[in-house]
Structure 1
Amino acid sequence: MNRLNLFAPDVRENPYPFYAELRRKSPVCQVDPGGIWVVTRYDDIVSAFRNTQVFSSAGLRMVTEPPYLERHNPLSDSLVLADPPRHGRLRALVGRAFTPATVSSLERHMRTTASRLTDEMLHRREVEFIADFACPAQTRALAQLIGLDSSLEARFIRWTTDVFSLSSISPADHARILEVRKTIDEMEQYMKKLVASRRQRMEDDLVSDLLRCEAGDSALTENELIACLLLILVAGLETTSTLLTQMVLMLARRPEWMDRLRAEPALIPRFIDEVLRFEPPLHATMRLTLAETELGGVRLPARAMVALLVGSGLRDEARFHEPDRFDPERRAQSSLPFGHGAHFCIGAMMARTQARVVLEELVLRCRRIALRAERLEWTVGLNTRCPLALPIEVAPS
């Protein structure tokens, strides 16, 4: 029997029937590329998230620093790639600066940006939503949060694309490898200069807040601070722009929900929750087993690379009634789209706020959103799944 290839075009286009078959027949098994193990059932995924002593986030370091890179990736020092107790120390320090009040203070800026981008979209009528709306909306929010030079928006988007392509670059693609190495150099140098400038003059931004949190032996090191800022930038941009894109794709394919949300705006948070379940921005995350263990009745060897297929777990029939039906009014919800336990995403509130603000603007001012492509091309990578482009046409209310 041939192993499933997660990067095969038909799997990328619609992985959910393949996931369903795995849940039925081989819920924990090896797949391609590379014979990695996958975990497909909701309860098993949650168990692996909880068992940080065996399922180590060091597995992600092998994704951020593939052998061909031949250099340290500063993102490898971030909290998402740390295990307890270091993870707890990093999260506590970052959490003191990344508060609900901080996110709340960004909402006005998010709304102004969403309104302007909607104006531009309605003026043009035909746009490519990812490049013309999703990425600019989130990049500008993150620039405001962190204290970045907003004129470098295109550069930040390129950085994010390059970082999330690490798992899918061929070791033989020397030109692409050189591009990614250059990107990592740029990212690191930019953040070092930004931190140095804030040490000389504090401002009202996240970098300054994190520097103010420095206290005693528990303070963030310079490498940890830079890793934290880069993580918030690239992970925050990739996952939230993906959420916005999937949200608009859902409205294009289910136009009745434009009218429904306009008439009942109180349903908007539930609509977002269902998009997060149905097409989660965090599609999979990697772990490395530190010892031989059993999961889902299967023995996993030590040092096994394991992909927790969150996108499969959120379609698990044992957890959700009719999981392949998009239903914002369903009762069963889950926090799994943002991870679980110690690794629950620290930026979840910001992502939800951005999604709500954007959706409120779109349903108020757009009568319809129509897809201008018969077939979409999808990203190739383990962590996220998103169209490469989303050409749409919008009609004003």
Structure 2
Amino acid sequence: MLMREPIDVMSPEFRADPSPFYARLRSEPIQQVEPGGLWAISRHEDVQYVLKNPKLFSSTFLQQIMRPEWLAGVGNPLSESILTMDPPHHTRMRALVSLAFTHKTIARLEASIRQVAGELAEDVRRQQEVDFVQAFALPLPAFVIAELLGFPPELRSKLKQWSDDIISITASVPEPPERIAYLRSSLAELQSFLREVITDRRARPREDMMSELLVAEVEGRRLTDSELVAFGTVLLVGGLETTVYLLGHTVRRMAQAPKVLARVRAEPALIPSRVEEVLRLDSPFQITLRLTTQEVELGGVKLPAYAPVAVMMGSANRDERQFEQADELVLERRSPQLLSFGHGVHFCLGAPLARMEAHLALEELFARCEGFVLSQEALKWNHSLGIRGPVELPLHAIPARRGADAGARSS
């Protein structure tokens, strides 16, 4: 039997289209991949099992991956965040941050999100030739994060730069000296900025989440400044990366399926199910990492203790054992078992906000644009082990016909 080369999840081919690689992994569901000989968990049932069993599969491995030796003296706030904790520490931290991340907090943003989305969509309709990421997919969630945390709106580009820098860091991939120097400077700048915000909110509280986090208290305990910096970083990365790439993936797929777009425009009530299908097929968060705490048998394979595990939500969401027509967009699909926002104790706190942003954004966009034509240039994908999305999406937007179009909304 011929031995095949292990799949490299950081390769350009994988980044461009992971679906055939996922299919190969699911055919032999527990196997090692590069970089670093990670044990890939690719089937839905197994991924779900790993995510709901933190006693067997520890999130603390993320601390090592996110904090390479060359960050000594600077640190990575994401590596000290709620993402890298196991219960009971994670339980206490989540209880604290949940006090500020409420449905009321999210609901108060709805009107402003719709207004900004409408203004951005009108710009896309008017300009027609745009990079969709820069024209729409980035500015909207950047506005939301700025509103949520009380950041100056002019920081839009800087917020995305910080977020991109953080998610590109992994101890398993070597970096050249000039890149190391740049990343150290970028992370130092981010942490300095967040500490300035914390100092300001402590002196002058506002109606924003950072002010609410400062006074959040559970059993007499409040968040430390370092914990506030870490959670602010989580919100920055999660809030930007999820929605930027979700919007980009959605419009890319709409351009490839004009009949589906026409139906969604005629029936805006279908937008939520459309968003769920994009989350299933093109989840922004594709892979997370865990470490076995003891020998574990999974999928008929015995994983040794302290084995690094790549948990492939992107593959699980395409598992043909769980979803019929798993690689196709099915508009009326009911998919209660999506793993795009995780599962178990680490299920994403920001999932309701991301969904609301996407629903409102697409309502406003589809009301003003009846179609999209993608550029023939090859897409450029971001550089990250766990998150996948286009960094640029040049396209031509076809304006909706005013008045004559049932899907149009006056601006």
TMscore range, shorter length:
over 0.9
Aligned partner of 1:208 in structure 2 is 211
> Does residue 318 of the first structure (1) align with residue 321 of the second (2)?
yes
Superposition map of 1:96-115 within 5 A: 96-115=99-118
Percent pairwise identity: 41
Write the distance in 2 (CA, Å) between the matches of 1:227 and 1:317. Answer: 37
Amino acid at match of 1:321: E
Aligned counterpart in structure 1 of residue 177 of structure 2, from 174, 179, 182:
174
Which whole-Å deviations, capped at 9, do the CAs of 1:263-308 have from their partners, x for residues lacking one? 1111111111111101111111111112221111111122221110
Per the alignment, in what secondary structure is the counterpart of residue 109 of structure 2?
helix
> Does residue 123 of the first structure (1) align with residue 138 of the second (2)?
no
Write the distance in 1 (CA, Å) between the matches of 2:199 and 2:389. Answer: 36
Shift of 1:379: 2.2
Superposition map of 1:280-291 within 5 A: 280-291=283-294
* TM-score (norm: length of structure 2): 0.93
Answer yes or no: is the 8 Å Cα contact 1:293–1:301 preserved in 2. Answer: yes
Aligned partner of 1:15 in structure 2 is 18
Amino acid at match of 1:224: E
Write the distance in 1 (CA, Å) between the matches of 2:49 and 2:207. Answer: 40
Write the distance in 1 (CA, Å) between the matches of 2:54 and 2:275. Answer: 29
Aligned partner of 1:146 in structure 2 is 149
Per the alignment, in what secondary structure is the counterpart of residue 167 of structure 1?
coil
Aligned partner of 2:39 in structure 1 is 37
Answer yes or no: is the 8 Å Cα contact 1:168–1:381 preserved in 2. Answer: no
Aligned partner of 2:258 in structure 1 is 255
Write the distance in 2 (CA, Å) between the matches of 1:168 and 1:123. Answer: 44
Superposition map of 1:49-64 within 5 A: 49-64=51-66
Structure 2 unmatched ranges of 5 or more:
401-411
Aligned partner of 2:301 in structure 1 is 298
Structure 1 unmatched ranges of 5 or more:
none
> Does residue 368 of the first structure (1) align with residue 376 of the second (2)?
no
Answer yes or no: is the 8 Å Cα contact 1:273–1:333 preserved in 2. Answer: no
Write the distance in 1 (CA, Å) between the matches of 2:124 and 2:25. Answer: 41
Aligned partner of 1:48 in structure 2 is 50
Which whole-Å deviations, capped at 9, do the CAs of 1:164-188 have from their partners, x for residues lacking one? 1113885341111111111110111
| Higher mean C-alpha deviation, range 107-116 or range 6-15 | 6-15
Write the distance in 1 (CA, Å) between the matches of 2:335 and 2:63. Answer: 33
Shift of 1:377: 2.6
Write the distance in 2 (CA, Å) between the matches of 1:263 and 1:281. Answer: 27
Which whole-Å deviations, capped at 9, do the CAs of 1:209-235 have from their partners, x for residues lacking one? 111213554321221111111110122
Amino acid at match of 2:384: G
Shift of 1:331: 2.8
Shift of 1:378: 2.0
| Higher mean C-alpha deviation, range 232-241 or range 270-279 | 232-241
RMSD after superposition? 1.5
Check 1:27–1:357 CA distance in 2 against 1; reply closer, same or farther (3 A cut): same
Write the distance in 2 (CA, Å) between the matches of 1:316 and 1:46. Answer: 12
Superposition map of 1:149-228 within 5 A: 149-167=152-170, 170-214=173-217, 217-228=220-231
Answer yes or no: is the 8 Å Cα contact 2:36–2:172 preserved in 1. Answer: no
Check 1:165–1:329 CA distance in 2 against 1; reply closer, same or farther (3 A cut): same
Name segments (4+ residues, structure 1) moved above 6 Å.
none
Aligned length: 396
Per the alignment, in what secondary structure is the counterpart of residue 331 of structure 2?
coil
Write the distance in 2 (CA, Å) between the matches of 1:168 and 1:121. Answer: 39
